[in-house]
Structure 1
Amino acid sequence: MPVTKKSSSLDLPLAGLAALFLGSGTLHLVKPQVFEPIVPPQLPDARKVVEVSGVAEIVCGLGLLHPRTRRIAGLASAALLAGVFPANVQMSVDAGRRANRKRTAKAAGFFAGTLARLPLQWPMIKVALRAGKGNQA
């Protein structure tokens, strides 16, 4: 008889996404100054935006870990990832400007990392949406 995954099982991509959210959310709260520069200037109180987004990431990460909350957490995670994408683009733009100004290997490497990160948003959104559908198999 073939072994099938239950829809409530926590697979590696989902566990990875939860871990990313938990780590990033914690970093938002422990070192908010790292994230404040990428908050759009149209939003008031960058520190508060960073703190709220950090709490949202932690809540999503925890929600993804439990089968009873996974569906809503998956949908919320997809929305959060889409919502922060402009900030990630802004981070890349700023890093590119800095790399162009400084012309150091470290600045160029950081810029390359921010660019490489952008297309990774899509697979993370796909994992979150799969969780939101209750489709873990």
Structure 2
Amino acid sequence: MARMTPVDIARWITAIVFVVIGVTHFIPPVVRGMAAMVPAVFHGRPFSAVGWVWVTGVAEIAGGLGLLWEPTRAAAGIALAVFLVCVFPANAHAAGKREKFGVFAVPFWPRLAMQLALIAIVLWVGLAP
């Protein structure tokens, strides 16, 4: 059995995190909270707010699994980085509105820092050999 490198361990952890978070996009109370975060401009373009939650859940699950299979690893890392950029408007919309969005309302600057760190991580684990 091959010995796991630090990037292998980080890849597995990252993949598991994305898959688990993706699965939560199908739990009704979580879906309601996340759907409320979707800015109105995106409603019906082309999905409802709930549809966006489901689509992003599928994307997170697919991206996480893609990191684990060598032929799709690089594409999954790049796709997850793009995904993180694309979902940031919903996070920014919720920033600081804890009374409305609860735990999803991470203040803007910490959320931006976290998003940038996640982008760096998915690119690292996706593109590293």
Length-normalised TM-score, structure 1: 0.73
Q: Which residue of 1 aligns with 2:79?
A: 76
Q: Secondary structure at the match of 1:93?
A: coil
Q: Give the Cα separation in 2 of the matches to 1:93 and 1:121.
A: 16
Distance 2:54 2:77 in 1: 21
- How far the C-alpha of 1:15 sits from its partner, in A, is 2.1
**How big is each residue's C-alpha offset from its partner over 1:44-69, in whole Å with a ceiling of 9 and x where there is no partner?**
21011111111011000100112121
Runs of 5+ consecutive residues of structure 2 not aligned to the other structure: none
Structure 1 runs of 4+ with >6 Å offset: none
Instruction: Say whether 1:125 aligns with 2:128.
Output: no
Match of 1:21 among 18, 22, 40: 18
Q: 2:106 aligns with which of 114, 128, 134?
A: 114
Q: 1:128 to 1:64 in 2, by over 3 A?
A: same
Structure 2 residue aligned with 1:52? 55
Which of 8, 13, 17 is 1:11 aligned to? 8
Structure 2 residue aligned with 1:40: 39
Which ranges of structure 1 fall in alignment gaps of 5 or more residues? 100-106
Question: Greater RCO between the two (CA within 8 Å, min separation 6)?
Answer: 1
- Percent of aligned pairs with the same amino acid: 33
Q: Per-residue deviation at 1:39? A: 0.6
- Provide the aligned C-alpha RMSD in A: 2.6
Note if contact 2:25-2:57 (Cα within 8 Å) is conserved in structure 1.
yes
Note the C-alpha offset of 1:120: 1.4
Give the whole-Å Cα distance in 2 for the aligned partners of 1:22 and 1:125: 16
Distance 2:27 2:91 in 1: 19
Deviation digits for residues 22-75 of structure 1 (CA, Å, limit 9, x no counterpart): 111100112311210111101121011111111011000100112121111001
Q: How many residues align?
A: 118
